[in-house]
Amino acid sequence: MFVTSAYAQETAPAAAEGDTHAGTAVPAAEHETFPPFDAKTFPSQILWLVITFGLFYLFLKRVVMPRLGGIIDVRNDRITQDLDHAARLKGEADAAVAAYEQELAEAKVNANKIGQQANDAAKAQAEGTRKKLEAELEKKLGEAEASIASIKAKAMKEVGTIAEDTTSAIVEALVGGKTDKAEIAAAVKSASR
Partner 1 sequence: MAADKVDPIHQFQIHPIIPLHIGGYDVSFTNSSLFMVVTIVLASAFLYMSTSSRALIPGRLQSVSEMAYEFVGNMLRDAAGKQGMQFFPLVFSLFMFVLVANLIGLFPYFFTVTSHIIVTFTLAILVIGTVLVYGFAKHGFGFLKLFVPQGVPGYLLPLVVAIEIISFVSRPVSLSVRLFANMLAGHITLKVFSGFVVSLSAFGAVGIAGSVLPLAMAVALSALELLVAFLQAYVFAVLTCMYLNDALHPSH
Distance between CA atoms of residues 5 and 112, nearest Å:
103
Q: Which residues bind partner 1 (CB under 8 A)?
A: 1-5, 7-8, 14-15, 18, 21, 25, 31, 34-38, 40-50, 52-53, 55-57, 59-61, 63-65, 67-72, 74-75, 78
Which of residues 1 and 173 has its CB atom nearest to partner 1 in the complex?
Answer: 1
Which of residues 4 and 190 has its CB atom nearest to partner 1 in the complex?
Answer: 4
Q: Considering the complex, what minimum distance in angstroms separates the CB of residue 6 from partner 1?
A: 10
Q: Considering the complex, what minimum distance in angstroms separates the CB of residue 84 from partner 1?
A: 17
Which of residues 20 and 190 has its CB atom nearest to partner 1 in the complex?
Answer: 20
Q: Considering the complex, what minimum distance in angstroms separates the CB of residue 93 from partner 1?
A: 27
Dihedral sign of CA atoms 173, 174, 179, 180 in order: negative
118 φ, ψ (degrees, to nearest 5): -60, -45
Q: Considering the complex, what minimum distance in angstroms separates the CB of residue 107 from partner 1?
A: 47
Q: Considering the complex, what minimum distance in angstroms separates the CB of residue 89 from partner 1?
A: 21
Distance between CA atoms of residues 38 and 28, nearest Å:
13
Which of residues 7 and 100 has its CB atom nearest to partner 1 in the complex?
Answer: 7
Which of residues 21 and 88 has its CB atom nearest to partner 1 in the complex?
Answer: 21
Dihedral sign of CA atoms 116, 117, 119, 123 in order: positive
50 φ, ψ (degrees, to nearest 5): -60, -45
Which of residues 64 and 141 has its CB atom nearest to partner 1 in the complex?
Answer: 64
Distance between CA atoms of residues 21 and 27, nearest Å:
9
Q: Considering the complex, what minimum distance in angstroms separates the CB of residue 76 from partner 1?
A: 11
Distance between CA atoms of residues 158 and 152, nearest Å:
10
Q: What is the 3-state secondary structure (H, E, C) of 10-75?
A: HHHHHHHHHHHHHHCCCCCHHHCCCHHHCHHHHHHHHHHHHHHHHHHHHHHHHHHHHHHHHHHHHH
